[in-house]
């Protein structure tokens, strides 16, 4: 028994210096446990690497899709700007058409006035030529002078 106590003392001394107390066969189990734990750590590390690779692939796909969407958006912005420019040009053309219509209306009024003046002048001067108050040449000269004066007046007014 003294021998047994000595063995316990040896185990105690071994443990106090940082060793471990193991029973026979327990070392193999520890080695298996450590080996299993190491494999589990390796499997986890491999799984983490696969997960990172998968996430990187997904990120690349997302970046590609983002780039496509950004390019489409930029194209749509360009088209929208072109349409806005065309709309502005159309609006300017509409305004110019309105101005031209107004000018045409004023010109029509002026030409109507000239036509009426010519009509009145021809009637009056032909009457005078028929009645002998003036010669036919004088009558036509008066008509042409009246037309010239009316056109000059319109030109001066519209300048």
pLDDT digits (tens, 9 = 90+) for 75-119: 999 999 999 999 999 999 999 999 999 999 988 988 888 888 889
Taken in order 69, 74, 77, 78, the sign of the CA dihedral is negative
> What pLDDT shows up at residue 33?
73
Please tell me the distance from the alpha carbon of residue 52 to that of residue 56, in angstroms, as a whole number.
6
- The two tokens of residue 30 are 């520890």
pTM > 0.85: no
- Mean pLDDT, the chain, rounded, equals 83
Q: In the chain, where are the structural domains located?
A: 42-158
Burial letters 68-99, b for 16+ CB under 10 A, else e: eeeeeeeeeeeeeeeeeeeeeeeeeeeeeeee
> Burial level of 124, CB count in 10 A (0-12/13-18/19+)?
middle
Could you read off the pLDDT of 26-68 as tens digits, one per residue? 677 777 777 777 787 888 889 999 999 999 999 999 999 999 9
């Amino acid at each position: 028994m003294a021998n047994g106590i000595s063995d316990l003392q040896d185990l105690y001394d071994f443990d106090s210096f940082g060793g471990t107390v193991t029973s026979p066969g327990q070392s193999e189990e520890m080695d298996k446990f450590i080996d299993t734990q190491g494999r589990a750590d390796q499997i986890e590390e491999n799984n983490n690497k696969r997960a990172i690779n998968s996430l990187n692939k997904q990120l690349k796909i997302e970046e590609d899709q983002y780039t496509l969407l950004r390019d489409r958006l930029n194209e749509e912005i360009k088209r929208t700007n072109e349409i806005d420019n065309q709309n502005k040009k159309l609006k300017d053309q509409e305004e110019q058409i309105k101005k031209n219509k107004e000018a045409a209306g004023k010109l029509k009024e002026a030409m109507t006035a000239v036509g009426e003046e010519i009509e009145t002048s021809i009637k009056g001067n032909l009457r005078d030529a028929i009645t002998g108050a003036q010669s036919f040449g004088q009558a036509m000269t008066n008509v042409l002078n009246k037309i010239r004066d009316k056109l000059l007046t319109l030109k001066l007014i519209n300048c």
